[in-house]
Each structure stands twice: as C-alpha cells, then as structure tokens.
Chain A
Amino acid sequence: MNRRHLIAGAVLAAASFGLGGGAAWAADPVRIGFSIAKTGLFADAAPSQLNAYELWREQVNAAGGLDVAGTKRPVEFVQYDDQSNPGQAVRIYEKLITDDKVDLILAPWGTPHHFALAPVLEKYKFPMVGNSAASAQLRDIKPGYIWFPTSAIPDKIAPELVAMMKANKVTSVAILSSVLPFSKEIKTFLLPALKKEGIEVKVNEEYPPTTKDMTAMLTAVKKAKPDATIALSYPSDSVLFAKQAKEIGIESQFDFVLVGPTMDFYQKVVGASANNIVTVGHWSPYRADWTKAKPFYDAYVKKFNEIPDHLDSALAYISCEILQQAVAKAGLDKEKLREVISTTTFDTINGPVKFQGVENVATPTAFLQVQGDKIELVWPASIATAAYRPKTSW
C-alpha cells in the first residue's frame, strides 16, 4: 500500500464516520423509526412530512447530534413504506418496537394511521408525538402515549371560521364539500355554528373526490350570490375549485379553501387565483416572536427548493422539536419521556406548545391567507401576522 492509498483510505474512513455532520461520532446513533406513505392514496401528501423529518435530522446531526440527557448522539432513521394502509402501519410499528428495537419513533402520515397506532403505543408503553392528524375523535383516545400538536381540529375550526366570517360581515355562504372524512367532519360542526350566528346557507353541495368538473355546482354558487364561498376540499379538488371559480367568475369576497393552498404546488398551478384565499393553519414564518419559524422556513426552502406545507410540514417539524427537547431532559427512558412530554411547555417554530391530555392547548385555532407570495396568519388577532384582505379577483 503506497501513500496515496493510505490517504484515500483515511479520507474514506473519515467520510463514513462523518455522515451528515462532518464530525466523527464517538457515541452510538439514536435510531428513530417510522412508517410513511411512499405509495398509495396518501403518497403525494406524505413528502411534506418526510421532508420536515429529514431537514430536522440533518440539522441535529450538523449541530453535533441529538442531546440525550447530556450526551450528543447522531440520529439515524429506520423507515418503511406503509403503502397508505393503517393496518400495515400497525404491523410496521410493532416491528420497529419489538424487532428493530428503535430508540424513538416519529409519526406516520394521516389521521387513520395515528388512530390505528394508539393501541400499539399503549400496549408497548412507547411514546409518540403525532402530527398530521386532525379529528374531534382524537379526544376519545386514552391519553398517555400519544399527543397531537395540531389546533386545526374540526369542532374548533367550524366556530372559529364562523366568528371570522361574522367579523368580516358575511351574512350568507355557499358550501361545497368533499365527502372525505376531514371535510365532512368540519361540515357537521359548521352548519349548526352558521345557524347559531344567523348566517344563511344558500348552497350546500357535496361531491365525491373523483370529481373532474365543478361547472354545475359553481354555476349554482354564482347565481346564489353568497358573501362567502367555503370549499371543504382536498388538494386535487382545491385546484379544480380555484380554476373553475375563475372561469365562472365567482364574486364572493370571502373564499375559503380547506386543504391545498398551503402546499407548494398550489400557487404554481392556479397562479394569481390563489391570492387572498383563506385556508386552515396555525403556523406562519412571519410571526416575529416565534424566533425559530423563519429559520425553519428558509432552511426548508434551501434544501428542497419549495415552500414547506404550512400545516403538515410545520406540524411534522414541531413533533421532532418536542421529541428533541424531551429527550434532552429525560434521555431515552420511555416512562420519563412520557412524563416530560405530558408536563413540559415546549419552545417550537409555532411558539409554545403544551399538552393537556392528548391535545395541544397553547396554540389557538387559526386561519391563513395567501397574500402574494406570502402565506400570512390572519385570524385570530392574538397571533395574526397580517390583516385579512377581501378577495376581489381570481
């Protein structure tokens, strides 16, 4: 072996030790397991979450590793594709806990997956901070080993949305709703809330997710001339809604679109039509006192060349931050972790997060609005980053 070989070998060895961080690790890696929908129904929604996980791991490793009660250790992911199937996710998490013997776990994508995992976490007494799950039913889950940082929960979204519309002098609405669970659940709470406040429902239509044309529905909305149009839609029909609302010329000045406007592709596909659309979400990079918010946004844009989903990417990152801060205090002992997560107030990109039972009680239910190339918090006033603007053109 000559000198050149020796140097090459040394460089290779250094590189293999320094994966992700550039520093050689003295400690064993902390193995964090999760399943994610890489194929199937949710596959196009899940990258927003996986990207946030990967960004977090990269940042932690670059900073010397995860602080495990005082010792810095590199983070390593153990991940599997759950094919968008909650049953598969259950099997994977059981394998992660019993066979792969991971140190920690992160959440899979979607409400049904979170719900399916709750009994598994309870059985193995393994704590998991959830993220992309939202349903009023999450309060029925036995508190203990699962937590939900979201504040976008249907029974809170509905009255808040009505309050926001009332504040903006809306007296009538048209509702177009997908038949998928999140939309239907919000509508269940929205109709009584509207009735209570005396807001007239002029159009109330439901459509299947396979809908490829909304002309008939939107023609009815245009004719009814409501003050507000509420599309309880999922990403693909959110695009269809905006494009056809522009074509038909919907005139309501308050336009709410449920899932989609916070995602990177949305503005690229619908362009200026997205401007001034109101949507659900409780995080924005422009809140000055959330000091970690803008750096997260900038790092995400730099790494992935797209904006983070203001709902799911933010929630996924928040769940990592909570885990990180809990592990720094409690180490990897599951019971200690559970105790710390249940009682601590965490400092996240979304400001303080504090759990009561399974629910985050520190973050208010809020709404975002697309304003030019920014997505601003416009409701409630306590966390707003910009004033609400009426939608005057598509």
Chain B
Amino acid sequence: MDVLLSGQLLFAALITGALYALIALGLNLVYGTMRLLNVAHGDLVMIGAYVAFWGLTLFGLSPVVGLVLAAAAGALLGWLTYLGLFRRLLASPQLMRRLEGNSLLLFFGISVILQNLASLAFTASARGYQFMDQVYRFGDVALTGNRIFVLVVAVAICAAVYLLLRFHVFGLAIKALIERRDAALIVGVDIDRVQLAAICLGFAIAAIAGVLVSTTEQISPFMGFPFTISAFVVIILGGLGNISAGLVAGLLLGVLEVYGVALTSAAYRSVLIYGVFIAILLVRPQGLLGRGSVVR
C-alpha cells in the first residue's frame, strides 16, 4: 500500500500520462479539424526522434534545439501532406464524405513510406544518445533529469495549445471547425488556412514528442506504431476531436497504466488498458468526457 502513496509512482504516472496526452493532442487536432485518421502519427514521432538524434550526433545540437528543429520538420511535412494530398480532397464535398475511410488508407501508405525511407536512409539499427542522465533525489523520490525534461516540455506544450484554442482567435477558429464545420464556413472562417495550420501544428507536436521520447529510450525506423495505437486509445477514450478531453484522457491512461500495474501485476498492463478502453466504448461511445454533439 505504501508503494501506492509514494511520490515515485505519482511522478511515473504523470510522465507517462503527459507524453500520452501530448502525442494524442497532435492526432486529435488533425482528426478534429479534417476528420483524417492519421495512422502515420507514430511515424512522425519517429521522425522527430531522428531529427534530435542526428542534430546531436552530426552537429552537436542539444535536444532542446532539437525540439525547434523537429517542430519545423513536422510542420513542413504537414504542409507538404496537406498541399500534396488532402487540400483537393477536402475541398470537394463528395470526396470529403468518403475521406475518413480513405484517409486511413492514405496514411497507412504514408506510414509504410516513412518507415522504409527512414530505414534506407538511417539503417534499421536501433540508435540512441544520453541526455540529462543524472538522477535528482527529493526525499524518497528519485527523478532522472531527462524524465523531468519530458514532463516539463509535454505539460508546457499541452497547456500552450489549450490556451491557444481557448483564447486566441486562430485557436477559436480551429475549435469552430472541429465543432461545426459548415457553420464555421458561413461565419467566414478561412477553412483552408485553418486546416493547413491544424495539420502543421498536429504534425509538429508529434515530432516534438519524438524528441522527448528519444531522450529516454532508443529509436529505430519502426518505433512509431505503438505510439499510434496509444494515441488512438487516448483520443477515443476522451472523445474523438475533443481536444481538452483528450488531454485528460492521456493523463488518465498514464495513471491507469502505472497504478494499475502497481495494484495488480505488470502482466495485466495490456488487459487493463484495453479492458478500460472497451468498457468505455460500450458504456460511453462518445468518449469519457465527450458530448454527443461533438462526434459526428
């Protein structure tokens, strides 16, 4: 029981949850605004991780600088994807109707391409580096520097995006698009620009998450898929397209994983996560905090 009350466990839950929330945030922005099911989301995390790795290895750039570079790389990829693939599809109401399903296939293709390009360019071997590896002790709680870094950056970015959506006019436009696409168009929201911004922001956040991941574990071209899965679990738990609920659901998943394992056994990790996931789909298909109207 005393294990459950330890700050060590709380810290672990917060880090795991904050990272889940951050990764899911990018996915939710892209789904919410355009109804695109981005199954290549985890591969953007992978790209961010490689940007940090090569930045450090080739140019001696700190992963802190890597955050900015990865965000730029993610945004650039989002821009290319939007202009090259989705702008035309989103502009036509007929194509738009089938886009949700089609985007799944398109992004699956993008995922395969990204993985194999990375494998060709960087080889499939796992790689990694050390960053802020010293352990700080606060009473009974021990914290590794890079895990504190992950927590601080993930919380800061989630908070910044939350505030943007709540108070900035551009954020409000994104929110309007998520909630009532047609109404947003009628009141004069520049849908094309907002969509472009949302996909760039979503991809950039995924790449930033990749930099954070690379500071704590090894990276490889095929590392992305588990992140895609957990991001989908989080946004479905929270309610598809519901940004703030996604943030709460990410944290909840972290708590569920860490405390669930402490209460039962590590062997039940997946059973716990997917058990709760399926239970929520059955009981509240609109998501844990979702309102019926948000999900179309």
A residues adjacent to B (C-beta < 8 A)? 38-41, 43-44, 46-48, 176, 179, 205-208, 210-217, 219-220, 223, 235-236, 239-240, 243, 246-249, 263-266, 268-271, 306
Identify the closest chain B residue to A220 (Cβ).
Answer: B3
Residue interface bits B58-79, CB-to-A below 8 A is 1, else 0: 0000000000000000000000
Q: Which residues of B contact A268 (CB under 8 A)?
A: 127-130
Identify the closest chain A residue to B262 (Cβ).
Answer: A216
Size band of the interface chain B makes with A? 35 or more
Q: How many residue pairs at the A-B interface have CB separations less than 8 Å? A: 122
Pick the contact of A216 from B115, B221, B261 — CB < 8 Å?
A: B261
What are 11 A-B contacts defined by CB distance under 8 Å? A38-B124, A39-B119, A41-B222, A47-B124, A210-B269, A215-B8, A215-B258, A243-B217, A246-B133, A265-B125, A270-B130
Q: Which residues of A contact B125 (CB under 8 A)?
A: 44, 47-48, 264-265, 306
**Does B276 interact with chain A (Cβ within 8 Å)?**
no
Please tell me if the beta carbons of A213 and B257 are within 8 angstroms of each other in the complex: yes
Please tell me if the beta carbons of B130 and A40 are within 8 angstroms of each other in the complex: no
Please tell me if the beta carbons of B135 and A269 are within 8 angstroms of each other in the complex: no
Q: Which residues of B contact A219 (CB under 8 A)?
A: 3, 6, 8-9, 262
Identify the closest chain A residue to B213 (Cβ).
Answer: A212
**Does B81 interact with chain A (Cβ within 8 Å)?**
no
Pick the contact of B222 from A43, A211, A265 — CB < 8 Å?
A: A43
Identify the closest chain B residue to A269 (Cβ).
Answer: B128
Please tell me if the beta carbons of B270 and A217 are within 8 angstroms of each other in the complex: no
Please tell me if the beta carbons of A243 and B218 are within 8 angstroms of each other in the complex: no
Pick the contact of A265 from B12, B218, B257, B267 — CB < 8 Å?
A: B218
Please report the C-alpha to C-alpha distance between residue A151 and residue B91 in the assembled complex, in whole angstroms.
62
Q: How far is the CB of A238 from chain B (nearest CB, A)?
A: 9
User: In the complex, given contacts A46-B124, A216-B3, what are 18 additional A-B residue pairs having Cβ atoms less than 8 angstroms apart?
Assistant: A39-B115, A39-B116, A39-B222, A43-B119, A207-B261, A208-B266, A208-B267, A213-B258, A214-B266, A216-B266, A217-B261, A217-B266, A246-B144, A248-B8, A249-B142, A269-B217, A270-B130, A271-B130
Pick the contact of A211 from B216, B218, B259, B266 — CB < 8 Å?
A: B266
Q: How far is the CB of B57 from chain A (nearest CB, A)?
A: 10
Q: Which residues of B contact A210 (CB under 8 A)?
A: 226, 269-270
Q: Name the residue among B8, B115, B130, B218 with the largest chain A CB count within 10 angstroms.
A: B218
Please report the C-alpha to C-alpha distance between residue A266 and residue B217 in the assembled complex, in whole angstroms.
10
Please report the C-alpha to C-alpha distance between residue A6 and residue B262 in the assembled complex, in whole angstroms.
76
